[in-house]
Copies of this chain bind each other. A is one copy, B any other.
Amino acid sequence: MKLTKEQAQEIKDQQSQQNKTKRVTAPELEKILYEAIPVLDHGFVRVVDYMGDDTSIVQSARVSYGKGTKKVSTDSGLIKYLMRHWHTTPFEMCEIKYHVKLPIFIARQWIRHRTANVNEYSARYSILDKEFYLPSPDNLAAQSKSNRQGRGEVLEGNQAKEVLDLLKNDAEKTYKDYEMMLNERFDGTTIDENKKGLARELARMNLTLNTYTQWYWKTDLLNLMNFLRLRADDHAQYEIRAYADTMLDTLKKWVPTTYEAFMDYRVGGTEVSAKGKLIIQKLIKGENVNSEDSGLSKREWNELMIAFGLKDKLI
């Protein structure tokens, strides 16, 4: 991640603001506000604004519960209760806005979360930065043999080098040709005074999918957690997980009580089907159960055993 001098200054200027407000604040989040937290080789995540804190959830829930909340007495108890019972609307009452720099192929996954507001840097109007994602060697994984959507072992030796060279050279070549077509270099200088430049909205099609883009992305706390549950998960692609993990840290600084409930009930929890419940009940009673008679598919059986630590991993 390289910030230009101007960009670094702009961030510093925002961070030096000292405004007074009657709104609630999240002191831990204020500390890192506007900071560009590095992710992958050239990406970052910046929290640029937020609204509400843990108490805002309680406040909204108590409107909907009115006088009816005597039994769940503390804020923390109420937040856990809401999380456990999928009373989701109070979590929509907090909002957060990020500025994110990320490779285009990850942006394409990310954008599928529709309940968010987005403004992306437009390659129709502007020239994209000359930055491409190149995986670090330990993330250069082979296709998994057992899982069509997963990664297997890491590539080694020569092949790893070959792959990295291809990625690097192709990204640089296509970017160079992008500049050539635009008849303009990234720094704004013209290449050939006697030529026109191809329209930006066309030239961009020559870039590779590991080119970095950036956007403002704003969502409410509920939908942020939906995003994180899916994208900080083991099944998510490593590159988007890197972003989700960084954002999990910002969640903790913003709404610590909600974060705790989220880790317990969503991230660390599991779902059990009706058939799966019967298996677990038998296991608790000490009855004999096996995959064949379970009524579960082989894969389902494995997933259930792994979820409760009765088996090591999916074979």
Binding site for B on A (CB under 8 A): 14-15, 17-25, 30, 33-34, 48-52, 56, 59-61, 63-71, 77, 80-81, 84-86, 89-90, 92-93, 95, 97, 99, 103-105, 107-108, 111-112, 114-115, 117-122, 124-127, 133, 135, 140-144, 148-153, 155, 159, 163, 166-167, 170-171, 173-174, 177, 180-182, 195-202, 204-210, 214-216, 218, 220, 230, 235, 237, 263-265, 267-277, 280-281, 283-284, 286, 297, 299-300, 303, 307-310
Contacts and interface: CB of A to CB of B under 8 A. Distances in A.
Contacts of A300: 80, 84
Interface centre among A15, A111, A216 (most CB of B within 10 A): A216
A170 B174 contact: yes
A117 B93 contact: yes
A66 B125 contact: yes
A286 B225 CA distance: 35
B284 A220 contact: no
Given A20-B18, A20-B20, A142-B196, A206 B202 contact: no
A77 B206 contact: no
- Scoring A59, A117, A135, A151 by chain B CB atoms within 10 A of each residue's CB, the highest score goes to A117
B201 A151 contact: yes
A163 B181 contact: yes
A110 to B, nearest CB: 11
A52 B49 CA distance: 7
26 contacts: A21-B23, A23-B33, A51-B97, A65-B126, A66-B125, A67-B126, A67-B127, A68-B148, A69-B148, A70-B148, A80-B300, A89-B112, A117-B220, A124-B149, A124-B237, A140-B202, A151-B202, A167-B205, A170-B173, A170-B177, A264-B274, A268-B277, A270-B272, A270-B277, A277-B309, A284-B310
A211 B62 CA distance: 20
B142 A197 contact: yes
Which one of A120, A237, A275 has the greatest number of beta carbons of chain B within 10 Å?
Answer: A120
A95 B93 contact: no
Nearest to A307: B277
Contacts of A140: 198, 202
A198 B163 contact: yes
Contact of A68 (B17, B122, B297): B122
B89 A119 contact: yes
Given A151-B201, A170-B173, 14 more contacts: A21-B23, A63-B121, A67-B126, A68-B148, A89-B117, A103-B205, A104-B209, A140-B202, A142-B199, A143-B198, A166-B177, A166-B206, A205-B209, A209-B209
